[in-house]
Structure 1
Amino acid sequence: MADHAGDGDDHKSAAESIIDKITEKFHGSSSESEDEKDLKSAASAVKAKIYRLFGREKPVHKALGGGKPADIFLWRDKKITAGVLGFVTAIWVLFELLEYHLLTLVCHVLILVLALIFLWSNASIYIKKSPPKIPEVVIPEDVFLGVASALRIELNRAFAILHDIASDRDLKKFLGVIAGLWILSTLGSCFNFLTLFYICFVLLHTIPVLYEKYERQVDAFCEKAEIEIKKQFAVFDAKVLSKIPRGPLKDKKLA
């Protein structure tokens, strides 16, 4: 009987030791999870303090909208990006360097296409085999309406932003827009519309990929530049803008 009692005590002590080990592991895992949570919160706080250009929180690919357009801008698909740049460069060379006119180009392309189609469709006289049927070119209504609707939405959004800036009393935003329009008008006087469009198109396909490659250096430089601009604007505000007389806006609103 004593032996059985001793065996029972041994089983109990073994079971208790196993339970103790399980509880220790459980507490250890819970403490590790708490530590991981603390590390994640600290990492998120550090990321929040890191300066990002234009205050973005997403990667460059997602900031550009993701999908195929972002792949083209960031040279993820080099063949498509090179093809698009080559096509736009050829258009710019034709119209700007060779001084080709749009109507002349359209007429010459139509002459060439019609001549090829006519010769190809009448090749059955000289060739025993009949040529394949030439497909008809039809612009889908959905695509045309979709492009027109997207253009309308973007124009309305631009007009709404300009209306808000003009009717708002935010002097900083107003001066920023005026400065941007003045720079754009200066560039427009130096280049024609096609050249300016081509320059913007090339910059759109080069600046994002360079920024993605040298992101840290650019963000650090822009942070220093923004701090310096804020200092200079504070001096300008104290010496010039603060001395501009302003009427009682609150009284006018109440009246």
Structure 2
Amino acid sequence: MSDHKPESLMEKITEKFKDESSSSSSSDSDDDNKISEMKSKVFRLFGREKPVHKVFGGGKPADLLLWKDKKVSGAILGGFTIIWLLFEVLEYNLLTLVCHSLILTLAILFVWSSASTFIKKSPPKFPEVSIPEKLVMEVVSDLRIQINRGLATIHDIATGKDWKKFLSVVVGLFFVSIIGDDLNFLTLVYILVVLLFSVPVIYEKYEDKIDPLAEKVWIEIKKQYTVFDAKVLSKIPRSMKELKEKKKL
């Protein structure tokens, strides 16, 4: 007689559940892979692959621009608005504003400190304010990198290495000069601040609706650039060397 015993009902049910769970887990993993692939294929503005918060550095500056702390972001935007109103609308002078602010601040602190001796209360404690050396070095280092990039671009243009870059810079400066005729520097800075504190947070909130529209616009821009490159830019020599070679031919 055979020693093999038939499987019990519980063992059969257990094996069935194991098979179903393994198949469901594999299907779930396949679905997750498909979803991740679909997300990677979705068009994102400026070709970004990270969340908007990470694009802006992921630190305190990103928190401010995306209004993670509404009180601080509102205070900064409100401060710039007050400065713009004082200088542009009320036509307040910068030196006069600084002097009046210092006079008012020093007067309040002096009266407060003097009155504390008469009312027998401890005078106010003023923190020692100093600029950290590390912060200054980081700012100077970043500024140096940007200045060097600008100087390298100017050098390439001045030596006639790239005509396309020359034309793009000239067109950009021309548009800036047009804007500068209608707007002064402070108003332009204020507009940039308002855009920085409004556009990123709006885009983060409605990115699923903005990205498809941006994709259509980007495709149309690429089509127009291809036509412009074929008709105009491709016929322009990229350097003086190429120009001399064409003249020889």
TM-score when scaled to structure 2?
Answer: 0.77
Of residues 137-146 and 233-242 in structure 1, the stretch that sits farther from structure 2 once superposed is 137-146
Matches of 1:228 and 1:138, distance apart in 2: 52
Structure with max Cα Rg: 1
Query: Structure 1 residues 174 and 214, CA, compared in 2 at 3 Å: closer, same or farther?
Result: farther
**Do structure 1's residue 127 and structure 2's residue 123 form an aligned pair?**
no
Contact 1:61 1:71 in 2 (8 A): yes
Of residues 167-176 and 126-135 in structure 1, the stretch that sits farther from structure 2 once superposed is 167-176
| 2:221 maps to amino acid | I
Contact 1:123 1:130 in 2 (8 A): no
| 1:233 maps to amino acid | Y
Alignment partner of 2:184 out of 182, 189, 192: 192
Partner of 2:11: 18
Deviation per residue, 1:34-70 (Å, 9 max, x gap): 4333323322332233211111111222222223222
Query: Structure 1 residues 248 and 131, CA, compared in 2 at 3 Å: closer, same or farther?
Result: closer
Alignment partner of 2:100 out of 84, 105, 108: 108
**Do structure 1's residue 37 and structure 2's residue 16 form an aligned pair?**
no
Partner of 2:64: 72
Q: Give percent identity, aligned residues only.
A: 55
| 2:7 maps to amino acid | A
Matches of 2:160 and 2:43, distance apart in 1: 28
Partner of 2:199: 207
Partner of 2:45: 53
| 2:6 maps to amino acid | S
Contact 2:86 2:92 in 1 (8 A): yes
Deviation per residue, 1:181-227 (Å, 9 max, x gap): 33223222321111100000001111112212222332222222222
Matches of 1:25 and 1:166, distance apart in 2: 74
TM-score when scaled to structure 1?
Answer: 0.76
The total of aligned residue pairs comes to 244
Matches of 1:178 and 1:37, distance apart in 2: 53
Gaps of 5+ in 2: none
Q: Secondary structure at the match of 1:151?
A: helix
Matches of 1:37 and 1:168, distance apart in 2: 55
Query: Structure 1 residues 209 and 232, CA, compared in 2 at 3 Å: closer, same or farther?
Result: same
| 1:193 maps to amino acid | F
Matches of 1:94 and 1:136, distance apart in 2: 29
Q: Secondary structure at the match of 1:122?
A: helix
Deviation at 1:133, TM superposition (A): 4.4
**Do structure 1's residue 99 and structure 2's residue 91 form an aligned pair?**
yes
Of residues 233-242 and 82-91 in structure 1, the stretch that sits farther from structure 2 once superposed is 233-242
**Do structure 1's residue 183 and structure 2's residue 175 form an aligned pair?**
yes
Contact 1:60 1:208 in 2 (8 A): yes
Matches of 2:106 and 2:226, distance apart in 1: 66
Aligned CA-pair RMSD: 3.6
Deviation at 1:18, TM superposition (A): 2.6
Query: Structure 1 residues 126 and 162, CA, compared in 2 at 3 Å: closer, same or farther?
Result: same
Deviation per residue, 1:143-197 (Å, 9 max, x gap): 4444333433443455456667878967666544443333223222321111100
